Amino acid sequence: MTHHQLTDEATPLAPTHQLTLRFSGTRRGARLARRLAVQQLTDWTALPYDSDPARAVALVTAELASNAIRHGSLPGRDFRLVLFLLPDRYRIEVTDTRAERLPPPVAPQPAD
């Protein structure tokens, strides 16, 4: 974990909280990312650790981290986990740290 960012913006589509961290591109890194994503959700929302939303966050984070390690990382490179708490949802982003392969930025879309 090398970078931490927390914001308290109150605009409708802006995150109320944001956290960005880097993990080693290993199974241990993926496990730590999954556990931290759930812990952060429970800290930000006061939901129980064993709630359905927390289980969903664990599952999604594990899958995304596993994909980043398996398909996008090179030996010795990390992957990045970004968590957003938005007014109406929790967003999880996982990317490898290969700058030449970062996706283009996407503007948040209003929920239907």
pLDDT tens for 14-73 read 778 999 999 988 889 999 999 999 999 999 999 999 999 999 999 999 999 998 888 776
Q: In the structure, what pLDDT confidence band is assigned to residue 13 with cuts at 50, 70 and 90?
A: low
Q: Is residue 9 part of a domain?
A: no
**pTM for this entry:** 0.71
Total domains, the chain: 1
Q: Is residue 2 part of a domain?
A: no
Write the CATH number for 76: 3.30.565.10
Give dist(CA 112, CA 81) in Å, integer. Answer: 26
Q: Is residue 110 part of a domain?
A: no
Look up the domain containing 58 and give its range: 17-97
Q: Is residue 108 part of a domain?
A: no
Residue 48 Cα distances to 18, 61, 101, angstroms: 20, 17, 36
